Amino acid sequence: MTPTLYLCVNRRTGAGSCSSAGAHKVMAALQAEIDARALSWEIRLSPCLGHCAVGPNIKAAPGGPMLHGCSDAQQVMATLLREWRQT
């Protein structure tokens, strides 16, 4: 399975959501981080991951962490490289 980052881009009306927290903006920055490291990771847009108040949220799969507050792509990348053991 290709290492994949499922990035929630859901928008909720009248409530906090990953879209309103900047998910689309972080997607572009995160893709640049992936490209700069020549990683074979994919980013896929995801519906709601169930943690709307603390977005943008990312689930790394297979076997990766669920990350919250992913507004800083460099910080997200550092966390994934430190915590995500891909098999």
Q: Which of 4, 12, 22, 43 binds ligand FES (CB under 6 A)?
A: 12
Q: Which of 5, 6, 8, 34 binds ligand FES (CB under 6 A)?
A: 8
| Unique residue bearing structure tokens 């990035």 | 7
Which is closer to ligand FES, CB of 30 or CB of 36?
Answer: 30
Q: Which of 24, 32, 44, 50 binds ligand FES (CB under 6 A)?
A: 50
Pairing verdict, β 58-61 and 4-8: antiparallel
* Integer angstrom CA distances of residue 73 from 1, 23, 29, 68, 87: 23, 10, 6, 12, 23
Report the distance separating Cα 1 and Cα 87, nearest Å: 9
Q: Which of 26, 27, 41, 57 binds ligand FES (CB under 6 A)?
A: 57
Which residues contribute to the site for ligand FES (CB under 6 A)?
8, 10, 12, 17-18, 48-52, 55, 57
